[in-house]
Structure 1
Amino acid sequence: MAQHTTTARPIVTLRSTAGTGVTYVTRKSRRNDPDRLVLRKYDAVARRHVDFREVR
């Protein structure tokens, strides 16, 4: 299946706010989340849960 450049669910990168450089890659819905995505996930370097923000 070919992927369009302007899909409804683009791939986004989430970077740790702890400053460790840890990233997650996920998809998001442009319709439900038009702003930058913020998720609380586990940072293995900091060894705790921190906020991960979408980078562009």
Structure 2
Amino acid sequence: MARSTTRPVVTLRSTAGTGATYVTRKNRRNDADRLVLRKYDSVAGRHVTFREER
């Protein structure tokens, strides 16, 4: 069965400049803009904002 195009795979990159990334899926219908989440950056050792990169 084919994957749906409404939930693409996106990469989240840390705004702290450490190069840490997360990979997740998002719903284009609910989140049309770039996704911004506050997650743990293991390199920085604290929670920072992660922004979707394209």
Q: TM-score range by the shorter chain?
A: over 0.9
* TM-score scaled by length of structure 1: 0.92
Runs of 4+ in structure 1 over 4 Å off = none
2:40 aligns with: 42
Helix, strand or coil for the counterpart of 1:51? strand
Q: C-alpha distance in 1, partners of 2:8/2:22? A: 14
Q: CA RMSD in A?
A: 0.9
User: How many residues matched?
Assistant: 54
Q: Deviations over 1:3-56 (max 9, x none)?
A: 35xx00000000000000000000000000000000000000000000000000
Q: C-alpha distance in 2, partners of 1:40/1:51? A: 4
